[in-house]
Amino acid sequence: MDGKFKFKLNKFHIIIGVLVFSAIAWAIIAMNSESRFRNALTSEVRKGDLTVVVSEVGELVAQDQATISAINDKQILFLAEEGSYVHEGDTVVILESQKYVISSDEANSSVRVAQAEYEKAQNELEAQRAKEEAAKKNYETLPELAKKGFVVESEVEQARLEYLEMQSTTRSLESVVQARQADVDRARSNFRNQVRKLEESYILAPREGVVVYASYGSGAASRKVEVGMVPFEGMDLMYLPDVSTMQVKSELNEVDLDKVRIDQPVEIRLDAFPDTSFTGRVKNIGTLARRKVNPATGKTTGTKVFDLLVQVDGSDVRLKPGLSASINIIVSKQKDVVYIPIESVFTTDKNRKFVYMKEGNDIERRMIETGVSNDLYVEVKNGLEEDDIVLLDIPQE
């Protein structure tokens, strides 16, 4: 009797132990499962409008601008202040001109000397022509006097020879006068050239506009034009842009080329005014690809890009050439679609898309069909519903 009781008691204890162990194990599993979800980043599946954009960076430039270039290789003594508004005819650049002051003075002296030599030769020619005329009259008179016996034939011959000599001397002096006139013309031309160079040392604004200094060099070595530097002839010194029509000069990655079209709307933000949004449209896309240049090093990279130009709508006093801009090209706007964060989407070896989805306390791998996407979200055409929960990373085992 006692043995049977002990057996039943032991069996009861075993059953209780198994139940307790199962409960503890289940609790541990549940805690582990809950712990996985507590540690995992998740997101709800949303439904709404999804805007697809292509984002790039660029720089504001004027659609139309006047370029001020160096007309010689002389040191810059003065530059109109960058950002200042100048009117047509205002002095915007002064180049070192002492050389041209001296040269123009010397050229002016040369003109005076050449003019004096010309006048001297001209006076000698006029005197010679008077002598020639007198010799001519004497020669024409003597033959009649010889017929009457007042002079002999030898005197007539002497008069003829003197007249011929006078003619020859006149021709020579005429050549001298022509040469002296050429000297005057050359001296005057040189003087005008030196005066022009002197005047060009003072560069005037060809139109009104805001002064923007030009840059030279590339990459980290890029510098703006400044007082004291010596430019090379023809080098851009500054620009006078028409700020009423501005554009964003940017570039388009080759992977986005098939998404962007002319006249697509663009949202524009300036680093200088981050809280203000401007609008525009794609104006031009380059036809030839080029290597992207690293702005820090000035060297080309392996990425291929196309030149991109965005026309800014309207005008605004805050739009200044040279300002850095961020652009979002509106590729498409999808209405009332299901979408999830782009980092929640994973790809199989066969290029099929899937997500890790929370189902109660379990994690399910769910295959999905995706649609359009932007930098943050991707459209889900099939496989998920609004309010489903997806993981943003691969779950921990």
pLDDT tens per residue across span 42-86: 999 999 999 989 999 999 999 988 999 988 788 898 999 998 989
Domain check: are 211 and 278 in the same one? no
CATH number at residue 185: 1.10.287.1700
pLDDT, tens digit, 9 for 90 and up, residues 181-213:
999 999 888 888 877 776 677 889 999 888 989
Going by C-alpha positions, the residue among 295, 273, 272, 113 that lies closest to residue 191 is: 113
CA dist 232 → 74, 86, 225, 229 (Å): 8, 24, 12, 10
| Domain that residue 11 falls in | 2-39
User: Which residues does 6 contact at the CB level (< 8 Å), separation at least 6?
Assistant: none
Same domain, 306 and 370: yes
At residue 295, the pLDDT reads: 74
CA R_g for the chain? 47
Q: What is the pTM of this model?
A: 0.55
CATH of the domain at 83: 2.40.50.100
Is 265 a member of any domain?
yes
Residue 20: pLDDT above 60? no
Mean pLDDT of the residues in the chain: 85
One domain for residues 228 and 246: no
Q: How confident is the model at residue 30 (pLDDT cuts 50, 70, 90)?
A: very low
Paired tokens of 192: 């005008």
State yes or no: pLDDT of 310 exceeds 90.
yes
CA angle 346/348/351 to nearest 5° reads 100
Per-residue pLDDT averaged across 221-249, rounded?
A: 90
What distance in Å separates the CA atoms of residue 285 and residue 172, rounded to the nearest whole number? Answer: 72
Residues 120 and 218 in one domain: no
Name which of 248, 252, 375, 243 is nearest 324 in CA terms.
248
Q: Could you tell me if residue 45 is inside a domain?
A: no
In a domain, 397, yes or no: no
Torsion of CA 343, 348, 353, 357, to 10 degrees: -70
Q: At what angle do helices 98-147 and 153-200 cross, to 10 degrees?
A: 170
Beta pairing class for 246-253 and 300-312: antiparallel
Residues of the chain with pLDDT > 90, as a percent, come to 45
Q: 3-class SS at 331?
A: strand
219 and 308 together in one domain:
no
Query: Which residues does residue 267 pair with via DSSP β-bridges, in sequence order?
Result: 279, 328
Across 102-111, 147-156, 300-309, which has the greatest mean pLDDT? 300-309
What distance lies between CA 337 and its chain's CA centroid? 41
Identify the pLDDT of residue 102. 58
Determine contact, residues 320/60, Cβ cutoff 8 Å: yes
Say how far apart CA 165 and CA 125 lie, in whole Å: 14
